Amino acid sequence: MPHNPTHVLDACGLLCPEPVMLLHNKVREMASGEVLEVIATDPSTTRDIPKFCNFLDHELLSQEERDRKYFYYIRKG
């Protein structure tokens, strides 16, 4: 894992808006500076998660697609 996440959120099988709703709740539990790995299968997350990070001032460290899954690494702002 490239960013050594402190938390993991598995949103596989969930469709918009559920992954972002779960992400929002998870980030609330985290301390500033902690890293979250999000794993999703919904292609709309490639649009929604970067917007979420930008809007709420969290740092999207990276996003990638592997084996039809989307992986996001987010540092809480």
Residue boundaries of the structural domains of the chain: 7-75
- Tokens 């972002």 sit on residue: 20
The CATH class for the domain spanning 7-75 reads alpha beta
What pTM, to 2 d.p., does this model score?
0.95
Residue 29, CA distances (Å) to 13, 17, 23, 76 in order: 23, 19, 10, 10
What residues are paired with 64 via a beta bridge?
Answer: 71
User: pLDDT tens-digit profile of 26-75?
Assistant: 999 999 999 999 999 999 999 999 999 999 999 999 999 999 999 999 99
Catalytic residue among 3, 7, 16, 50: 16
DSSP assignment of 24-63: HHHHHHSPTT-EEEEEE--TTHHHHHHHHHHHHT-EEEEE
Does the annotation count 16 as an active-site position? Answer: yes
